[in-house]
C-alpha cells in the first residue's frame, strides 16, 4: 500500500472513531429524561437517608457519626473519599469517563441547639452540649434534606460515570451554622484547606431548602441572594453611682438606650435601601446587678446584614460614628468592635444567566427569580474563590399558608419531603448541563 493510501486509510479510521465516539455520547435530552427517571427511582432512598439524619442530628464541628455514614456511602459508590476536612467534612470525588470540567456540589451537615416538637415518627431525641450547657438538638434548618439530596445525585451519576463528561466533587460541609467559640470551621476552613483544589473546581452549585416557599419552587437570583452577616459589640463606659442620684455619675444604660435608637436611624435615614436591603438588630443588652445601682458599663450585641460590600463598609463606619457621638454627648465613652462573618452569598451573574434555562426547564412555572433574603450562608466562602450558583428550594406543604409556616431555626420547622425531588433534579441537571455546555 502506498504511503498516500496508508495515510488516507488512517484518516478514515480516525474519522470513524470520532463519529462513533460522538454517537456514543448521550444527548442532553437523554440525560434529562434519565435524571427524571432516576429521581423517582431513588426517591425512597433519599427519604430514608433524610430520616436517618433527622433522627440523629449533631452540632457544628461534632458531626462525627454523620460524617462516617456519608463516607461509607460514598466509598460504596466506588469514589475516592477524603474525611476529616475542616474537622468532620467529607469529600467524594467522582471522575467521569470523558474529559470535561470539574463541578463542585455542596451540602451542609450540622444541626442546631433547638428542640423539635413536630412529633414525627423519626423526630430526634438527642441531647448534646452547647456552650457548656446540655441542649436538645434537631435539624431545624433542613440540612438533613441537603445531605440526602446530594447523596441521591451522587448515586445517580456514579451509575454512569463512564459516560460523564467531567468530574464531580461532592462536598459535605460541617459547621455551616458557625463553629463553636474558639474553633475554626465551616466553608471558610474548607477553602483554607484546599477543598477547591486537586483537582481545581471550575464552578460550584449549592441549594437550601426553604420552609416558607411552596414545595416544587426553585428560587434564584443573580448577584447577592443572601446577606453578609456581621456581629457588633458595643460597650458603653459610664460612671457608676447610686440610683437615687444619677447626676453624680454617667448612666451607661441611658446612653445605650439612645444608641439603640441611633442604630435604627442608620437604616431608616442613612442607608440607600432602594439599592439593597440592610438590617441592624440588637440581640442582647446587658448591664447592672440590682435596682438601685447605676452600673459602670452596659453592653449591646447585635447583627448587621448587608447585600452590598460598599454598603457594608459604610454601615460599619456609621455604627462606630453614631455610638461614639451619642456617648460623647452624655459624657460617656464607647468601645465598638465589629466582627465580619459570612460574606454576601453572591451568585455569579454570568453563570446564573447561563444556567437559568436549566432551572426554568426543571421547575417550569415554579421557577421564580426571587428577592434577596437577609439570612446568611457560608456557601459564600466558596463563591469568593470561584463562580457559584446558590438556589432556594421550596419545602412548604401544598396548600399551606406561608404566614402559618414555621420559619427556620424554630421547634416547629417542617419540610415536605416530596420537595427533595426538585432539589435532586435541580442539582443533577445543573451539573450535566454545565458539563455539556463546556464540551
Residue the block writes with cell 434577596: 372
Per-residue pLDDT of 14-23, as tens digits, reads: 544 444 444 4
Residue in 348, 347, 90, 79 with CA at minimum distance from that of residue 195: 90
Look up residue 351 and give its three cell numbers: 453563570
Per-residue pLDDT reduced to its tens digit, 228-244? 999 999 999 999 999 99
Q: Which of 63, 110, 378, 433 is catalytic?
A: 110
Q: Which 3 state secondary structure label does DSSP give 388? A: strand
Closest CA to 171 of 210, 206, 209: 206
Residue 109 dihedral angles phi and psi, to the nearest 5°? -120, -20
| Domain residue limits, the chain | 26-226+344-437, 228-342
Per-residue pLDDT of the chain (439 residues; tens, 9 = 90+): 444 454 445 454 454 444 444 446 899 999 999 999 999 999 999 999 999 999 999 999 999 999 999 999 999 999 999 999 999 999 999 999 999 999 999 999 999 999 999 999 999 999 999 999 999 999 999 999 999 999 999 999 999 999 999 999 999 999 999 999 999 999 999 999 999 999 999 999 999 999 999 999 999 999 999 999 999 999 999 999 999 999 999 999 999 999 999 999 999 999 999 999 999 999 999 999 999 999 999 999 999 999 999 999 999 999 999 999 999 999 999 999 999 999 999 999 999 999 999 999 999 999 999 999 999 999 999 999 999 999 999 999 999 999 999 999 999 999 999 999 999 999 999 999 999 999 8
What rounded mean pLDDT belongs to the chain?
A: 95
- What is the Cβ-side half-sphere exposure of residue 81, based on CA atoms within 13 angstroms? 20
Residues 6+ apart with CB under 8 A from 82: 90, 91, 93
CATH architecture of 228-342: 2-Layer Sandwich (3.30)
Query: Is 360 designated active site?
Result: no
Which CATH number, 3.50.50.60, 3.30.390.30, 3.40.50.300, 3.40.630.10, labels domain 26-226+344-437? 3.40.630.10
Active-site residue flag, 184: no
Quote the pLDDT of residue 20.
Answer: 41
pTM (two decimals): 0.91
Residue of 155, 176, 188, 416 with catalytic role: 176
CA distance 404 to 385: 38
> How far is Cα 92 from Cα 44, in angstroms, rounded to an integer?
22
pLDDT in tens, 150-184: 999 999 999 999 999 999 999 999 999 999 999 99
The residues near 333 (Cβ < 8 Å, ≥ 6 apart) are 236, 237, 324, 327
Amino acid at each position: 500500500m502506498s504511503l498516500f493510501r496508508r495515510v488516507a486509510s488512517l484518516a478514515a479510521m480516525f474519522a470513524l472513531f470520532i463519529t462513533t465516539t460522538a454517537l456514543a455520547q448521550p444527548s442532553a435530552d437523554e440525560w434529562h429524561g434519565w435524571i427524571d427517571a432516576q429521581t423517582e427511582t431513588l426517591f425512597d432512598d433519599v427519604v430514608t437517608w433524610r430520616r436517618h439524619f433527622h433522627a440523629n442530628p449533631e452540632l457544628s464541628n461534632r458531626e462525627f457519626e454523620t460524617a462516617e455514614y456519608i463516607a461509607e456511602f460514598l466509598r460504596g459508590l466506588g469514589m475516592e473519599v477524603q474525611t476529616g476536612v475542616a474537622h468532620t467534612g467529607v469529600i467524594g470525588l467522582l471522575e467521569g469517563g470523558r474529559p470535561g470540567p470539574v463541578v463542585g456540589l455542596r451540602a451542609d451537615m450540622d444541626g442546631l441547639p433547638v428542640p423539635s416538637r413536630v412529633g414525627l415518627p423519626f423526630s430526634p431525641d438527642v441531647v448534646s452540649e452547647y456552650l457548656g450547657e446540655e441542649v436538645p438538638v434537631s435539624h431545624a434548618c433542613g440540612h438533613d434534606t441537603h445531605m440526602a439530596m446530594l447523596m441521591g445525585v451522587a448515586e445517580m451519576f456514579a451509575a454512569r460515570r463512564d459516560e460523564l463528561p467531567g468530574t464531580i466533587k461532592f462536598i459535605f460541609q460541617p459547621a455551616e451554622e458557625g463553629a463553636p467559640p474558639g474553633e475554626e470551621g465551616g466553608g471558610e476552613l474548607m477553602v483554607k484547606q484546599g477543598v477547591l483544589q486537586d483537582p481545581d473546581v471550575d464552578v460550584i452549585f449549592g441549594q437550601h431548602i426553604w420552609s416558607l416557599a411552596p414545595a416544587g419552587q426553585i428560587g434564584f437570583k443573580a448577584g447577592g441572594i443572601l446577606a453578609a452577616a456581621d456581629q457588633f459589640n458595643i460597650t458603653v463606659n459610664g460612671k457608676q453611682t447610686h440610683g437615687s442620684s444619677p447626676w453624680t455619675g454617667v448612666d451607661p444604660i441611658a446612653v445605650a438606650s439612645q444608641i439603640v435608637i441611633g442604630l435604627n436611624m442608620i437604616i431608616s435615614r442613612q442607608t440607600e435601601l432602594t439599592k439593597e436591603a440592610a438590617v441592624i438588630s440588637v440581640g442582647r443588652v446587658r448591664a447592672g446587678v440590682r435596682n438601685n445601682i447605676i452600673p459602670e458599663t452596659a453592653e449591646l450585641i447585635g447583627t448587621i446584614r448587608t447585600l452590598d460590600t460598599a454598603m457594608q463598609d459604610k454601615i460599619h463606619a456609621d455604627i462606630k460614628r453614631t455610638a461614639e457621638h451619642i456617648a460623647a454627648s452624655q459624657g460617656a465613652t464607647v468601645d465598638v468592635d465589629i466582627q465580619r462573618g459570612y460574606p454576601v452569598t453572591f451568585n455569579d451573574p454570568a453563570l446564573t444567566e447561563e444556567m437559568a434555562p436549566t432551572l426554568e426547564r426543571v421547575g417550569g412555572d415554579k421557577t421564580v427569580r426571587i428577592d434577596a433574603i437577609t439570612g446568611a450562608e457560608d456557601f459564600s466562602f466558596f463563591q469568593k474563590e470561584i463562580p457559584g450558583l446558590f438556589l432556594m428550594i421550596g419545602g412548604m406543604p401544598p396548600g399551606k399558608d406561608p404566614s402559618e409556616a414555621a420559619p427556620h431555626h424554630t421547634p416547629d420547622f417542617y419540610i415536605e419531603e416530596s420537595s427533595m425531588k426538585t432539589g435532586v433534579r435541580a442539582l443533577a441537571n445543573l451539573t450535566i448541563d454545565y458539563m455539556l455546555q463546556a464540551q
